[in-house]
Amino acid sequence: MASLKLKVAFPLRINIGILFYLWIISCSSFKDKTPTLPFYNTADFTAEWIAENDTKHKDIHTIDTFTMYNQLGHVFTSDSLKGKIYVANFFFSICPSICPKMANNFKLLQDRFEISAGLNLVSFSVMPWVDTVGKLKVYGENLGINPTKWHLLTGNKERIYKLGRQSFFAEKKEGLTKDS
């Protein structure tokens, strides 16, 4: 039975590997200091390739600074992610629907990229009044989260909502004008 799973999974891994390779090759084909990854400056996620010498480069969208607490009770700031590639999401620990699916996908990312020192996962709780440091620690332990790679963050509700809406575009256009 195990060999059957291997035979089915092996072509899938090859296909994913080939797609990733083709993506890398296509990104590296840009010349003249054009960036290989796009910038997303608006909530509609229209990709823009803006070179460093382009006058628009000074106005690229950036994620605002933040200070939160992680599941270990340590202060975690936006500076903690400087120079690192990270994937962020917004969740709450008692969510019965989409959050467990996102957590499972993040767990797959964590496990796949365990050896990569540059990749981090960041999950911001949208219910910080429920998701205390202690609650996040237990949640992380139950999921098998490596706290050096996957940071469960809690903090000021208004700050988290503003980050989600205005920095990460979590609610697209509608979220840019909403309050808490």
pLDDT attached to residue 169: 84
**Both 111 and 142 in a single domain?**
yes
**pTM of the predicted structure, to 2 decimals:** 0.72
pLDDT attached to residue 53: 86
Domain tally, the chain? 2
pLDDT attached to residue 18: 52
The answer to the question of residue 159 being in a domain is: yes
The answer to whether 140 touches 148, Cβ cutoff 8 Å, is: no
The answer to the question of residue 131 being in a domain is: yes
**Both 48 and 71 in a single domain?**
no
In tens, the pLDDT along 138-179 reads: 999 999 999 988 999 999 999 999 999 988 888 755 545 555
**Whole-number percent of the chain with pLDDT over 90:** 34
Q: How confident is the model at residue 180 (pLDDT cuts 50, 70, 90)?
A: very low
**Both 52 and 92 in a single domain?**
no
The answer to the question of residue 180 being in a domain is: no
Higher confidence at residue 104 or residue 43? 104
List the CATH number of the domain containing 139. 3.40.30.10
pLDDT attached to residue 7: 42
Higher confidence at residue 17 or residue 167? 167
**Both 72 and 94 in a single domain?**
yes
Domain range enclosing 137: 67-175
pLDDT attached to residue 172: 59
Report the C-alpha gap between 112 and 14 in whole angstroms: 15
**Both 50 and 112 in a single domain?**
no
In tens, the pLDDT along 79-124 reads: 998 888 888 999 999 988 888 888 988 898 888 887 666 788 999 9
**Both 25 and 105 in a single domain?**
no
Higher confidence at residue 93 or residue 1? 93
Residue 13 has pLDDT above 50, yes or no: no
**Both 85 and 162 in a single domain?**
yes
Q: Look over the chain and give the mean of its residue pLDDT values, rounded to a whole number.
A: 78
The answer to whether 165 touches 178, Cβ cutoff 8 Å, is: yes
pLDDT attached to residue 41: 76
**Both 50 and 71 in a single domain?**
no
User: What is the DSSP secondary-structure string of 63-89?
Assistant: PPP-EEE-TTS-EEEGGGGTT-EEEEE
**Both 118 and 37 in a single domain?**
no
The CA-based diameter of the chain, rounded to the nearest angstrom, is 59
Report the C-alpha gap between 165 and 177 in whole angstroms: 8
Query: Which range is least confidently modeled, 4-18, 58-72, 78-92, 160-174?
Result: 4-18
Report the C-alpha gap between 178 and 161 in whole angstroms: 9
